[in-house]
Each structure stands twice: as structure tokens, then as C-alpha cells.
């Protein structure tokens, strides 16, 4: 709450109080792999046994045990993107999904504290949708090449160049960019968002390949920006055709952040959730996911009888999130994600329009 000085008539903003000061700091627990810890985490190890052998589980289990205990003590919920490693995705996360699913579920969270296991723009989105909650990210340096490819100032220049053209901005952007946007989108709803706009021309930014791929599915003119995902832009059509030749009958499913030439040789293209659902529903004998490598492991832990061929392109930003850093967030209430209120109010509108859009 702001305060008014009756002598001067000047209203002052309240002093910032850190999350650590608000909630307190907890001493680091003993991280020994005791028989009790082994028993209490055994059911979780069963989920990831194919990726974390028993001899290595002794190093993971104490962190998993401590995190699951502390998040209840803190009244915290852990949101994890599909690209998180299996130990996070299957063993400590409360809510998992793609960017759209996490954005929607963030609005339904009752906990006081949200710990975002993903990249920074995802944590900002959670904060936009939960301005009164404390949002933490285990590593504030977990960025995104797409988010860093465009600034709010550049969006304003685009709006000057194309007056009246609605701006659809990929959710993989900063709050500053979202604040200059008419509506956000994700890879799973970009077509629905574009088709919902009463305009023959749409700016779809910053992912050039996503925009080019959706342009093939609509009669609207799509204006693009040269932003790319550093994971997905590394895949090539020639690489995938070589996989097909070496693995007859393999099904290739790709993420629309890939180049259109890559998508053209895929059997299916969709968001991370769409790709997961395809594998679960179709149960192909052998499949190659053209996306971040950890997702294949996460699906493999849940789907039996599917052989995954893994071209292992890892996102260096997603991999900044680790169990030790999640534990540190819970203990020390770091790193807190804050958004300037002047930016947040406008950015929130663009995200809420997306979340509330009828699919």
C-alpha cells in the first residue's frame, strides 16, 4: 500500500520487501541418502528408472525428498515445462505442460508461491497472471533466444511501419514486448489467435519459422520478424531424411518453431503438448521428436512399447534449472520475478486475451 505525506501531499510507493524477508529463510536440510529417504522416494524412482539408474538415484533422492517436503511447508507449487529433465518433470513438479497449458494453469493456482521450472519469460507470464503471488525462478539467467530477439522499442517501430495491423506476439517474449501486443499466442493456438482477428494482415512476431508455418494454414497475410529458437533452428530437412532412410517406418513429429522445410518432411507438427498427445494416442512403433531432447525422455517414462530415436538438441537455458537450484529457491526464496506495474498491466491484457480465447 502506498502512503500519503499529509505535510507535502506527496504519495510514496512502499519500500520493497524481498521474498526472503517476507517468508523467511530455512536452513539447508541434511541431504544424506538414508533408508527412510530411499523408501519415501522409491515410487518416484520407478517413474524415471530408465534414465536414472539406482546407483545414481542416491544423489537425486535426497533433493527430491527435501523439495517435496519443503514445497508443502512453504505452500508452494512447482510448474515445469515439458523440456525439463525427468527428475524435475516426474519427481517434483505439480503441474507440467507446454507454454499455453502452464499459462492457463497458473491462473488456477491456490498456493502462495509459484516456482517456475522453465525459462524467464514463463516465470514473467506466471507473475503477470498472478500479480499478488510470489513467483520464483531457480535461475534468473534461464533466458530464451526468441525472447532476446526483439524489444518493446522494436515492436513500437513495427506498429509505426504497419499502422492498424494487429500484433500477435509469441508468448516466448518479455513482458516489455507483450505490453506492446494486441494478443499473445503459443505454438498450439497461433492459428486460432490469428483467425480470431478481424484483419486481412497480421504481424506474427518474433518467431519467423512459426509465422511462416502458420502462413501456410491461413488466407491472411502474415508479416514476420527474424527471431529463431536456437534449439529448433539447428534441425535440417536433410538430417531428417537421413533418419528416415536409416529407420524405415519411423514417424517424425516436429515443432513449428522449426524451418518450414523441416516441417514439410515431418509426419505431424504441433506444440509440445500436441506432440505428446500424438505419441500417446497413435503409439507409433518408432518415433523421432524434432524438438528439445528431454521431452522424449519424459514421454518415454509414460509410454510403453514406443522406440524413441533421439537427435539430442538440448536447450542450454532450460538446463539451467536443476534440483539443487529448486531446493535453494525454496530455502532462500530466490530468484523472485518482478514486473514493472506500468508494463504489467498492459502485458497482462495480451496474455489474458490469449488465455480466454475460445478454442
Q: Where are the domains of the chain?
A: 20-142+319-332, 146-230, 237-314
| pLDDT of the residue at 98 | 85
pLDDT at 52 over 90: yes
Characterise 100 by phi-psi region: left (phi > 0), alpha (psi -120 to 50), beta (else). alpha
Distance CA 295, CA 301 (A): 10
CATH number for domain 146-230, candidates 3.40.50.970, 3.30.360.10, 2.60.40.10, 3.40.50.10800: 3.40.50.10800
Give the dihedral of Cα atoms 177, 183, 101, 84; nearest 10 deg.
-20
Q: What is the CA radius of gyration of the chain?
A: 22
pLDDT band at residue 40 using 50, 70 and 90 as cut-offs: very high
Q: What is the pLDDT of residues 57-97, one digit of tens each?
A: 999 999 999 999 999 999 999 999 999 999 999 999 999 99
Residue 172 annotated as part of some ligand binding site = yes
DSSP string, 22-89: HH---PPPP----HHHHHHHHHHHHHHTTTS-HHHHHHHHHHHHHHHHHHHHHTEEEEEETTS-HHHH
Residue 258 annotated as part of some ligand binding site = no
| pLDDT of the residue at 109 | 85
The grid coordinates listed for 286 are 518408432
Give this prediction's pTM.
0.90
Decide if 20-142+319-332 and 146-230 have a common fold.
yes
Residue 187 annotated as part of some ligand binding site = yes
Residue found by looking up cell 504489467 in the block: 344
CA angle 52, 302, 187 (to 5 degrees): 105
| pLDDT of the residue at 267 | 96
| pLDDT of the residue at 191 | 96
| pLDDT of the residue at 359 | 55
Residue 171 annotated as part of some ligand binding site = yes
pLDDT at 7 over 70: no
Among 156, 228, 182, 219, which residue's Cα sits nearest to residue 354?
182
Residue 81 annotated as part of some ligand binding site = yes
Residue 256 annotated as part of some ligand binding site = yes
Contacts of 179-182 with C-beta under 8 Å, sequence gap 24+, read 179/152, 179/343, 179/344, 179/346, 179/347, 179/350, 180/152, 180/155, 180/156, 180/346, 181/155, 181/347, 181/350, 182/350, 182/353
CATH architecture of the domain with residue range 20-142+319-332: 3-Layer(aba) Sandwich (3.40)
Give the mean model confidence (pLDDT) for residues 316-341. Answer: 96
Number of H helices, E strands in the chain: 16, 14
Find the helix or strand (DSSP H, E) in which 114 lies. Answer: strand 113-117
Residue 255 annotated as part of some ligand binding site = yes
| pLDDT of the residue at 13 | 54
- Is the CB of residue 92 less than 8 Å from the CB of residue 329? no
| pLDDT of the residue at 313 | 79
| pLDDT of the residue at 3 | 44
| pLDDT of the residue at 104 | 82
| pLDDT of the residue at 115 | 96
SS (H, E, C) 163-181: CCCCEEEECCCCHHHHCCC
pLDDT at 138 over 60: yes
Give the mean model confidence (pLDDT) for residues 219-242. Answer: 95
Task: List residues bridging with 307 in a β-sheet.
Answer: 286
pLDDT band at residue 310 using 50, 70 and 90 as cut-offs: confident
Residue 99 annotated as part of some ligand binding site = yes
Please give the distance of CA 123 from its chain centroid, rounded to a whole number: 8
Residue found by looking up cell 530411499 in the block: 38
14 vs 221 pLDDT, higher one: 221
CA distances from residue 45 to 84, 87, 306 in whole angstroms, order as listed: 16, 9, 20
> What class has domain 237-314?
alpha beta
Task: List residues bridging with 308 in a β-sheet.
Answer: 287
Residue found by looking up cell 505428446 in the block: 276
Distance CA 202, CA 211 (A): 10
Reduce the DSSP state of residue 191 to 3 states and report it.
Answer: helix
| pLDDT of the residue at 67 | 98
Residue found by looking up cell 512476431 in the block: 205
Give the mean model confidence (pLDDT) for residues 244-269. Answer: 95
pLDDT at 168 over 90: yes
Residue 155 annotated as part of some ligand binding site = no
- Is the CB of residue 117 less than 8 Å from the CB of residue 88? yes
Amino acid at each position: 500500500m502506498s502512503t500519503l505525506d499529509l505535510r507535502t501531499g506527496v504519495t510514496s510507493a512502499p519500500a520493497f520487501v524481498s521474498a526472503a524477508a517476507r517468508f523467511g529463510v530455512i536452513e539447508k536440510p541434511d541431504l544424506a541418502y538414508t533408508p527412510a529417504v530411499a523408501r519415501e522416494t522409491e515410487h518416484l524412482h520407478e517413474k524415471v528408472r530408465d534414465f536414472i539408474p539406482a546407483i545414481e538415484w542416491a544423489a537425486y533422492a535426497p533433493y527430491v525428498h527435501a523439495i517435496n517436503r519443503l514445497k508443502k511447508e512453504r505452500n508452494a507449487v512447482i510448474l515445469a515445462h515439458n523440456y525439463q529433465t525427468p527428475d524435475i518433470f516426474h519427481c517434483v513438479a505439480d503441474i507440467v505442460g507446454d507454454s499455453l497449458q502452464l499459462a492457463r494453469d497458473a491462473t488456477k493456482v491456490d498456493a502462495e508461491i509459484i516456482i517456475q521450472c522453465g525459462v524467464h519469460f514463463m516465470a514473467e507470464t506466471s507473475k503477470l497472471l498472478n500479480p499478488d503471488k510470489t513467483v520464483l525462478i531457480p535461475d534468473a539467467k534461464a533466458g530464451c533466444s526468441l525472447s532476446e530477439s526483439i524489444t518493446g522499442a522494436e515492436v513500437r517501430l513495427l506498429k509505426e511501419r504497419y499502422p492498424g495491423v494487429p500484433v500477435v506476439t509469441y508468448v516466448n517474449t518479455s513482458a516489455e514486448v507483450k505490453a506492446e501486443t494486441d494478443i499473445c499466442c503459443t505454438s498450439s493456438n497461433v492459428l486460432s489467435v490469428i483467425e480470431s482477428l478481424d484483419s486481412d494482415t497480421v504481424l506474427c512476431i518474433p518467431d519467423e519459422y512459426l509465422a511462416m508455418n502458420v502462413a501456410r494454414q491461413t488466407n491472411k497475410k502474415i508479416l514476420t520478424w527474424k527471431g529463431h529458437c536456437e534449439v529448433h533452428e539447428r534441425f535440417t530437412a536433410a538430417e531428417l531424411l537421413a533418419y528416415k532412410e536409416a529407420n524405415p517406418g519411423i514417424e517424425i513429429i516436429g515443432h513449428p518453431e522449426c524451418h518450414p522445410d523441416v516441417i514439410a518432411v515431418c509426419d505431424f507438427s504441433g506444440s509440445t503438448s500436441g506432440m505428446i498427445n500424438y505419441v500417446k494416442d497413435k503409439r507409433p512403433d518408432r518415433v523421432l521428436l524434432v524438438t528439445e531432447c528431454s521431452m522424449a525422455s519424459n514421454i518415454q517414462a509414460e509410454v510403453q512399447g514406443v522406440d524413441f530415436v533421439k537427435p539430442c538438441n538440448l536447450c542450454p537455458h532450460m538446463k539451467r534449472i536443476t534440483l539443487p537450484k529448486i531446493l535453494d529457491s525454496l530455502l532462500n526464496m530466490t530468484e523472485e520475478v518482478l514486473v514493472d506495474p506500468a508494463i504489467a498491466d498492459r502485458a497482462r491484457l495480451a496474455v489474458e486475451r490469449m488465455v480466454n480465447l475460445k478454442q
